[in-house]
Structure 1
Amino acid sequence: MANLRTLLLNQDTQGGELFESPRERLLFYRAEIHFESSLLAERTSAYLASQSFLMIAFASAMANSNPDWGNLFRLVVPAVLALLGLLTSLHAMPGIRSNFEVIERWHQKQAELLQLEGRVGILPNNESALFGEGTSPAGGKRYKRTLLFSLRTPIIFSLVWGLFGVLCLTLSLLD
């Protein structure tokens, strides 16, 4: 049984000598989760910053009231900005999705470790789990709810940019 447990715990590394104990493996998993979560937060922040600048430019372009070239400007520039917003949203989706999948994989490995080595996550003189994760099935899925904002944001912006593109073209053609 101990050999099977060791084999299962070491399946994600080339050799078992990398970790001296299950606790070290748990700390490694937590560090990877933290790194990937930080990377996801940075990607989401950069994406939201780019979208906010595009929104400001779009609103400014739509508000242009120059009598000489305002109509043409309101037809071309907002449509181009809406297309750019849509394209950046579509290009952001795979990177954010892959980060989510990597985080999910590390959480799964952590859950397997806690299931095989249940006592590794328990702090001495305290029955609470290390890092607050818990070994219950419900406790292990909480992280997904926190990542949904990053996953859904590009989809929402894609829909908004599509709507804005259609709206600016319709308003410009009705003038």
Structure 2
Amino acid sequence: MRLLARSRGLAAGPGARHLSARKRPRKGSKAWLDRHVNDGFVKAAQKQGWRSRAAFKLLEMHEKHGLLAPGATIVELGCAPGGWTQVAASKLGPGGLVVGIDLLEVAALSGGNSRIIQGDFTEAEAQEKLRGLLAGREVDLVLSDMAPVRLAWAGFGWSGPRCGKLGDHDPPRRR
């Protein structure tokens, strides 16, 4: 199994709602929204049918490193809004499987090679659902592009990412 993660901690994933009681957006929020609306990658993602601009990061990594082998089994931790899941599913073909897990609800993808679990991947219930969907398949690649939602995790007192052993870090098998 290979681990590819760009994580600054555990989070609800991109697109998580801000948990603030503020009525009006901050100046910084308005500036972010203005930048987001005018961002070239956001426009390109919308035009090409990707769920998020993050799709281009995974496409670039795949082009450079050949990460998404046809027929592979991939687990994506923190998959909302589903951009990476969508890219992975498009590259795996009908024999592959990508399972995305997130605290947030993520709309299902078309095609038969992807599944979404809503839940906390650190908890037994989500892990059991994952094992059930994998049905004995060996995982070739674990993907994550999570960033912390600081307000949501502030009560836990965590200062950084917490990960268990995920296995050997071998390249994906070509099938």
Normalising by the residue count of structure 1, what TM-score does the alignment of the two structures yield? 0.24
Relative contact order, higher structure (CA 8 A, sep 6+): 2
From the CA coordinates, give the structure whose radius of gyration is larger.
1
Normalising by the residue count of structure 2, what TM-score does the alignment of the two structures yield? 0.24
Structure 1 or 2: more strand by fraction: 2
